[in-house]
Amino acid sequence: MKKILLGTSALVLLAGAAAAQQVTTKAPFTVTLGGSVRSDFIILNDNAANVSSREARLDYRLHLKAEAKAENGLTYGFDARLRNNQNGVGQDVVGADRKFVYMGGSWGQVQLGDTLAVDSNFEVQAPTVGIGQADYAFGPSVNQYSFYHANEGEFHTKLVYYTPVFSGFQAGISYTPEKGSAGRDNARTKIASGSNNYKDLISLGAAYTGSFSGVGVKLGGGVQFGEAKDVSATVRANVDDYVVWHLGAQLSYAGFTFGGHYYDNQGQGNGGQLAKGDDQIGWQLGLTYSTGPWGVGINYARTETDYAARGRRDDSDYMVGLGAAYQLAPGLSLQADVVKFEAESQTTGLKAGKTKNDGTLFTFRTRVDF
């Protein structure tokens, strides 16, 4: 019964497209459920004032997919990722950050809904193992800093097209009507406010995966650009148009993987809070080695923020991380990271006499994948 109900819902969402192509099918939907559960214990020593030095959390992500294939070869369905979050009173609330309907065939795939822009989906970061070392989302207790391109991980409502894969190459294009708008949200206002201050965002991206004489190669990157919603002289004096671009590469051989990533936020860093004329660039390098159930990795990330307003000094933030992971049993792994960081961008909320935040973060994780 659950398969029938899920299948009916997806068919209703795609009814217009299905009717136009005169799609008929006798095959039921195949519904799959998977995911991961991550139990973390964190120890942090830094310059932030009035904060705890240890923390524990449980983060789970459930992947739900319902897919069918029509007699004419059209593949279609619904894809979602559910995650737990805390509400205002500390209760666990489950919501879907990624959720979209799709249809595809030999011509490629179209996605409609809350999903990544194609440039983010094609990004190639520096290699990591386990928790991620000095990666782009390195800890729940020290998340004031930006070590990633500005639209990384944004699931705003959009229209996406991906080409088929040709000899390891794939490309795509996506269109986001309103930055910051997702799900049932309506964002028709033309006045910039909060995260809905940009419109008509176009993303272009491409990636390549291949191997030569035993050396694996991964390349990826892209660009996203858009317009400010409020074009009044007051706003335009302080807000740039939206432009973000990034490139990444990895090489792998005999268990070793080396790679890096570079981005330029061009005024859109730290959630779009930088002023007109500011620029933010960042880069990361990493090296990992895996053999059997073991994996170890080290990487380094750095962000440089250049402020157009000469009354504020430029900022440099960096992290260096070392980590390991061990697969104890199928679907069960133990992971650990130690990260040293220094953030000039944090100038408030610090202990007396401190002008920047620096410290060391230890994270221990038990992870179950199913």
Cβ count near 147 (within 10 Å): 24
Residue 145, pLDDT score: 60
Q: What would the pLDDT profile of 129-185 be if each residue is shown by its tens digit?
A: 999 998 755 555 554 566 778 888 889 999 999 999 999 999 999 999 998 899 988
For the segment 81-91, the average pLDDT, to the nearest whole number, is 78
Rounded mean pLDDT of 301-313? 80
Q: Span 16-40, mean pLDDT? A: 72
Residue 18 has pLDDT above 50, yes or no: no
Residue 166 host element (H or E): none
**3-state class percentages of the chain: helix first, strand second, coil last, to nearest 5:** 10, 55, 40
Cα separation, 304 vs 264, in Å, equals 10
User: Could you give the residue ranges of the DSSP H alpha helices within the chain?
Assistant: 2-13, 15-20, 118-121, 233-236, 269-272
User: 103: closest CA among 204, 19, 2?
Assistant: 19
Q: What is the pLDDT of residues 317-333, one digit of tens each?
A: 999 999 999 999 999 99
Average pLDDT, the chain: 85
44 closest CA partner among 324, 297, 357, 304: 357
C-alpha triplet 326, 335, 300: angle, nearest 5°:
110
Question: H helices within 205-244, ranges in order?
Answer: 233-236
**Higher model confidence: residue 160 or residue 23?**
160
What percent of the chain is modeled with pLDDT above 90? 58
Is residue 296 within 8 A of residue 286, CB to CB? The reply is no
Domains of the chain from N-terminus onward: 2-369 (2.40.160.10)
Confidence class for position 203, pLDDT limits 50, 70, 90 = very high
In the numeric block, which tokens belong to residue 347? Answer: 């100038």
